[in-house]
Structure 1
Amino acid sequence: MDPHLLRTYVTVARLASFSKAARELGYTQSAVSQHIAALEQDLGAPLLTRRPVVPTAAGERLLEHAGPLLLRLDAARADVVRMAAAPQQGLTLVATATALGPAVLGALPPAGVTLRVLTRAEIPAAVATGTADLGLVDGLAAPSDPLRLPDVAPLTTYGIAEEPVSVLLPAGHPLAGRPGLRLGDLRDARWLDAPDAALPLAHLRAATAGGAFRAALRYEGTDVRTLTALTAAGHGLTLLPRSAATALPGATAVPLTAPRLVHRTELLHSGSPGGAAAELVRRLVGGG
């Protein structure tokens, strides 16, 4: 299967238009049509209806495979280019908002760092395709258990930090004075759905083998202070690592006592990092 044809197909399916795909890819509309026809002939199945432009059942199945396949190709290219390229002095680090704990911030070089906050889903792909030198992801896990990351490419991962988690409540909440809270007792509470600023509700459901954990409000940003303000205003509870949930005005952090879970942070890289990236890996993994 020709990856160029596959990229054209994915673009047409995403934009639902041959002409828009041609403009985005820099091809003529005739060339795009020829790419799709060649791919359909290769696979022996129609992939798109033409009016409207919608994937067929076979086309939908191909889309499920296409994303990981193309990402693997991009990762392979980036890995080879990285090996051949001269070492760079700077460092590009991608991280989730809550992965930037005190230990990480204290280990960053004094200059030459570009830091980008991305979603959890975006970070492995950014590292695999070479748009970032290192990545930091976090999540909810049992003590010493690794995080479940998407298999986008061969990546090296290190667990660099684990800390307790806390439930963040409005300061006047009836449970705010408790010494600890059980997650199972909060299944039916009002929760904030903030997958990129807090620990995702899906992690909570997985940790308790189900449960409602209904979202009262969805926040699609990465700013923890905005999330805290929403909690303080009574829009829902949220779960944060202890270091991010302390000393926040208008809200109270109560330790989670059961189940036994931690906030885990992992460092990701592809290949053999050099320069500033290698030094940061040494600091975070070796404690230097």
Structure 2
Amino acid sequence: MDPHLLRTFVTVARTGSFSAAAAQLGYTQSAVSQQIAALESDLGLPLLHRRPVTPTEAGARLLDHAEPLLLRLRAARADVLRTAATPAHRLTLAATPLALNARLAVRLARARAAQPRLEITVRTCAREEVARQVTGGEAAMGLTDGIAAPSDPLPPPDAGPITIVGVSEESLVVALPADHPLADRPGLRLADLVDARWLQTTLCPVQRLRHLAGDGFPVALDYTGDDVHTVLNLVAAGHGLTLLPASVLATPAPATSVLATPAGRGVPLSAPRLVHRVELLHATLPAGPAARLAADLS
């Protein structure tokens, strides 16, 4: 199958529109229609219903295979080009919203001081997108984060050959309103909070909590953004609880182990033993500024 046709098929299936796919790919709508027809002819099966534009059963199966295949092709191309590239002093670092914590920000500052010519662009995106940008060559490296048991790796991304190194772990706190009945506790167990109302966020998916502690954790509000201050404001206003790295609520309340900010409180998570883990992702890095930066961040 022609990868160009696969790319067009994926774009049409994801946008649900031939015209939207044409605009995104820079083709005419007629060219998109011809490419889909050519792919269907090659396979001898209809792949898309036309009204509305949705994948057929065969199209849905192809979609499951097509995106990983295209990603691996991009990764292979980027890897080959990377071996012949002149070491660049302008790099992009892709990062999930909570990955570049205070500790790693200091390491980044030291790395820049050691390489004065180095220009770094930090680009925030979702975890899956970080891996895609790294393997596709759009970013020299990436930082991703998540909740894990101490020293346990995060679930690996399906993004082709990639090196993953753990670079930071810190404790977690339960973020709740300052006037919450549990706000002055020295610690909280996740199992005792299964009936509490929770925020559904990309920073702390409720599905992850259910995987760790069983059923429960009703969703009070679904927030699809990635701004930490918005999450804290929602918590402070009583829209639900969430888990956050301790450094997000880093001002200690007087004479207690509770962390506090004007937006709310963070009570240490006492059980189960979980941490906020940050991992560095990169493909093969030839000797040069990018390799030195990866070593400094590690």
TM-score (norm 2): 0.88
- 1:234 paired residue number: 238
The offset of 1:277, in angstroms, is 2.3
- With over 3 angstroms needed to count, the CA separation of the structure-2 counterparts of 1:28 and 1:96, relative to structure 1, is closer
In the alignment, structure 1 residue 25 sits paired with structure 2 residue 25: yes
Contact 1:117 1:222 (C-alpha < 8 Å) held by counterparts:
no
Partner of 2:264: 251
SS of alignment partner, residue 6 of structure 2: helix
Partner of 2:4: 4
- The structural deviation recorded for 1:22 is 3.7
- Pick the aligned partner of 2:127 from 120, 136, 143: 120
2:156 to 145, 149, 158: 149
Aligned to 1:43: 43
CA 1:33/1:156 → structure 2, altered by over 3 Å: closer, same or farther? same
Q: 2:212 aligns with which of 189, 192, 207?
A: 207
Structure 1 residue 28: Cα displacement: 4.3
Q: Which residue number in structure 1 is paired with residue 254 of structure 2? A: none
Which shifted more, 238-247 or 46-55?
46-55
Q: Does 2:275 match 1:262?
A: yes
Q: Which residue pairs with 1:219 in the alignment? A: 223
The structural deviation recorded for 1:75 is 1.2
Partners of 2:25 and 2:96 lie apart in 1 by 31
Shift of 1:20: 4.1
Q: 1:232 to 1:284 in 2, by over 3 A?
A: same
- Whole-angstrom CA distance in 2 between matches of 1:223 and 1:254: 21
Change (3 A) 1:17 1:284: closer
Match of 1:98 in 2: 98
In structure 2, C-alpha distance between the alignment counterparts of 1:27 and 1:166, rounded to whole Å:
49
Match of 1:163 in 2: 170
Alignment partner of 2:141 out of 128, 134, 144: 134
Give the Cα–Cα distance (whole angstroms) in 2 for the partners of residues 56 and 174 of structure 1.
Answer: 52
Range with bigger deviation, 265-274 or 132-141: 265-274
RMSD of the TM alignment (CA)?
1.8
Asked if 2 retains the 8 angstrom alpha-carbon contact of 1:93 and 1:115, the reply is yes
Tell me which residue corresponds to 2:54.
54
Change (3 A) 1:175 1:57: same
Give distance in 1, aligned partners of 2:30 and 2:123: 39
Identify if the C-alpha distance between structure 1 residues 173 and 125 changes in structure 2 by more than 3 Å, giving closer, same or farther: same
Residue pair 2:82, 2:286 contacting (<8 A) in 1 also = no
C-alpha separation in 2, matches of 1:282 and 1:122: 22
SS of equivalent residue, structure 2 residue 207: helix
Gaps of 5+ in 2: 252-260
Structure 1, gaps ≥5 residues long: none
- How far the C-alpha of 1:7 sits from its partner, in A, is 1.4
Instruction: Name which of structure 1's ranges 173-182 and 12-21 shifts more when overlaid on structure 2.
Output: 12-21
Amino acid at match of 1:239: L
Query: Following TM superposition, by how much is the alpha carbon of 1:39 offset from its aligned partner in structure 2, in angstroms?
Result: 1.5
**1:34-53: CA deviation from partner (whole Å, max 9, x where unpaired):** 32222222222111233433
Cα gap change, 1:50/1:230 in structure 2, threshold over 3 Å: closer, same or farther?
closer
Residue 137 of structure 1: how far off its partner (Å): 0.6
Structure 1 residue identity aligned to 2:207: A
The CA deviation at 1:252 is 1.1
Give the C-alpha shift of residue 284 in structure 1.
2.4
CA-CA distance at 1:273 after TM superposition: 4.9
Q: Deviations over 1:57-104 (max 9, x none)?
A: 111111111111111111111111122211111221111121111221
Moved more, 123-132 or 24-33: 24-33
Query: 3-state DSSP class of the match of 2:185?
Result: coil
Q: Kindly tell me: are residues 207 and 57 of structure 1, through their superposed partners in 2, closer, same or farther at Cα, counting changes over 3 Å?
A: same
